[in-house]
Amino acid sequence: MPTTVRLRDAAEYSEAAQKMFELSRAWFNYDFSEPPAMSRVMAWDPAFGGPHGRAMKRAMAPGEFSRAEKEMVAAVVSGVNACAY
């Protein structure tokens, strides 16, 4: 059985994580009722989540492919890898 973590409610996180959630809202340009699950998982360990978030911003920065094309590649790779999220 795969390892799982309990997704905590946004209110359970530190003030620094709350600020990160606000950045996620701005990044996705969407007012989530709760931050995205992956954002909450990454926020639990700032030493891991911070660098991961910065890498994501670099990957999604303007370039040869549009953000929509990059999101599609990510979705296809997740499907090929049978990711449950």
CB-count burial class (<10 Å; 0-12, 13-18, 19+) for 74? middle
- Residues 7-21: pLDDT tens digits? 888 889 888 888 888
The pLDDT of residue 85: 62
Is 0.75 surpassed by the pTM of this model?
Answer: no
Q: How confident is the model over 2-10, as a mean pLDDT?
A: 79
Q: How confident is the model over 17-33, as a mean pLDDT?
A: 83
The pLDDT of residue 65: 95
Residue in this structure with the two tokens 């709760």, named with its chain if needed:
34
Residue 20 tokens read as 């990160």
- Contacts with 10 (C-beta within 8 Å, 6 or more apart), sequence order: 18, 21, 34, 35, 40
CA distance 11 to 39: 13
